Structure 1
Amino acid sequence: MKALIVEDKEHIRKGLMQLLDDVGNGIMVIGECESVKEAVIVANSCKPDLVFLDINLVDGTGFDFLDRTGELHFKVIFITAYEEYALRALKIGAVDYLLKPVDAQELKIAIGKVTEQSVEAQQLKISTARSVFGNDDKVLILSLQDSFQLIDLKELMFCQSDKGYTTFHLGNGKQYLASKPLKEFEAQLLRNTFSRPHQSFIVNLKYIDRYDKSGTIHLKNGVRIPVSSRKKDSFLTRLFT
């Protein structure tokens, strides 16, 4: 299997090449690149079977590289430092990835997994990860039991948690249940027009009709959401700014 390493740090590239020699698996490194521009040229000329791809490169992202080599037929293992933004995208997409510094055992596992799946199956997973990475402030992607559900944040009215599960209520009446607690979604939502007025609720401020000083939010569809005394000040600050 011919492999290309696309990583902007030389010591990571060299370390990965050494690990690949150590673990074997019949992988031959045919090139190493530090930029999107260079990697596109090498990939088009050498046509690798597998690409070890860094997320953040000197002149763009690993996804930019994939956009520009869309006609090629290769598999991908991402390489990333621990960055919540990129890592969350990869996890949601169920894409194979390695954390820096690369561990030999994790490398063997990733190679085994990527070898067993088709390029087409992996491309579908990567497109899901890309949608998260590229639209982090616009779209929420829920990993449901049998599918990935894309939610336009402009359509999300509120979320309600219960015993480790979170229900997402949309303006069109649809509801989706995710098997994760509310805190897993809080960071992304609070970067947008949302507030957490209660431990069990996150609400879209754009859907609020009125707020009773007694501590109750009235949404435009008639739903009432409590405001806890502990979160009242932060909610009101968010509401009026």
Structure 2
Amino acid sequence: MKALLVEDKVYIRKGLLHLLQSMETDVEVIGECGSVKEAVVVANACRPNLVFLDINLIDGTGFDFLDQTGHLDFKVIFITAYEEYALRALKIGAVDYLLKPVDVEELQLALEKVKNLPSGEQRKRIKTAKQVWYKNDSTLVLSLSDSFQVIDLQELLFCESDKGYTSFHLANGKKYIVSKPLKEYEEQLQKVNFTRPHQSFMVNLKFIDKYDKSGIIFLNNGKKIPVSSRKKEAFIATFLKYNSL
């Protein structure tokens, strides 16, 4: 089987590659990718039979990759960290997955299961997992003073924290304020391409127009977001990686 490794952490890819090479299998790794964009190009060119696929990638999710390669015929083994939403989605869909760091025995079991599963049946299971995943991770329910507000995270520009309150600013100009600190939402937002350049802000990377080296982020609606000196190096690395894919 010709296999493609799609994982944005190099050490995870190299570790998985080493395990596959040390095992007696018919799996030949034909490529390694760290992003959705790169993986789509390589998959179309190389036509793998099997894809080891991370769920959270720097420019999207593994499901984004599958949406863009639906015309190709390959089987999938997901790779994921111990994340509540990811594991719940995969378990409900009965989809094969490997937890990071990958264990050799679990890898062997996953390979055996996926080889014996018809591709059509696996795609049905992945579709179920995808529906569960997006239900949990593409929206956020905010508890306001008089209602519960559902927001689409793909339309969220940035969040701002102030004295235990957090304001959510959407691309359509709407603003919602909740009486919870920003740290309550940080983990979920980081899964969908948000970064925290300052203690008081989280920003959606896709809405950044430019970064001024003086330490200011300019969003595409003109809003300016400060970058703290302590977080500047990490922010620049994340920003450049996101925009180089």
Category of TM-score, reference length = shorter chain: 0.5 to 0.7
Match of 1:55 in 2: 55
How far apart are the structure 1 equivalents of 2:7 and 2:22?
A: 19
Sequence identity, in percent? 65
| Amino acid of the structure 2 residue aligned with 1:101 | P
Shift of 1:64: 0.2
Confirm or deny: 8 A CA contact 1:7 1:53 kept in the other structure.
yes
Question: Structure 2 CA distance, aligned partners of 1:92 and 1:74?
Answer: 21
Counterpart AA for 1:41: V
1:36 aligns with 2:54: no
Instruction: Please give the per-residue CA displacement for 1:155-208, whole angstroms capped at 9, x wherever unaligned.
Output: xxxxxxxxxxxxxxxxxxxxxxxxxxxxxxxxxxx999xxxxxxxxxxxxxxxx
Q: Partner of 1:90 in structure 2?
A: 90
**Superposition map of 1:74-153 within 5 A:** 74-136=74-136
Residues 46 and 126 of structure 1, relative CA distance in 2, 3 Å threshold: same
Cross-structure match for 1:7? 7
**Aligned residues of 1:137 and 1:191 also touching (Cα < 8 A):** no
Judge conservation of contact 1:55–1:78 (CA < 8 Å) in 2: yes
AA matched with 1:72:
L
Aligned to 2:159: none
Query: Cα distance 1:90–1:191, how it changes in 2: closer, same or farther (>3 A)?
Result: farther
Q: Does 1:72 align with 2:72?
A: yes
Partner Cα distance (1:129, 1:191) in 2: 25
Give the match for residue 216 of structure 2.
Answer: none
Runs of 4+ aligned structure 1 residues displaced above 3 Å come to none
- Classify 1:191/1:129 alpha carbon distance in 2 versus 1 (closer, same or farther; 3 Å): farther
How many correspondences in the alignment? Answer: 142
Distance change >3 Å, CA 5–CA 191, structure 1 → 2: farther
Task: Tell me how far 1:24 sits from its aligned partner.
Answer: 2.3
Scaled by the length of structure 1, the TM-score of the pair is 0.57
Q: Which has the larger radius of gyration?
A: 1
Could you tell me which residue of structure 2 aligns to residue 196 of structure 1? none
Residue number in structure 2 paired with 1:185: none
CA distance in 1: counterparts of 2:98 and 2:34, whole angstroms: 17
CA contact (8 A) 1:55 1:61 kept: yes
Give the distance between the partners of 1:68 and 1:77, measured in 2 at CA.
17
- How far 1:137 moved relative to its partner? 7.6
Matched-pair contact (CA < 8 Å) for 1:3–1:49? yes
Q: More displaced, 21-30 or 45-54?
A: 21-30
1:126 Cα deviation after fit: 0.1
Does the 8 A contact of 1:52 with 1:77 survive in 2?
yes
**How far apart, in 2, do the equivalents of 1:137 and 1:191 lie?**
15
Q: Is the 8 A contact 2:50 2:74 kept in 1?
A: yes
What CA distance in whole angstroms lies between the structure 2 residues aligned with 1:41 and 1:93? 27
> Helix, strand or coil for the counterpart of 1:135?
helix
Shift of 1:16: 0.2
- Counterparts in 2 of 1:191 and 1:16: CA distance versus 1, 3 Å: farther
State the AA in 1 paired with 2:132.
V
Contact 1:93 1:125 in 2 (8 A): yes
**Conserved in 1, the CA contact under 8 Å of 2:44 and 2:69?**
yes
Contact 2:85 2:137 (8 Å CA) reproduced: no
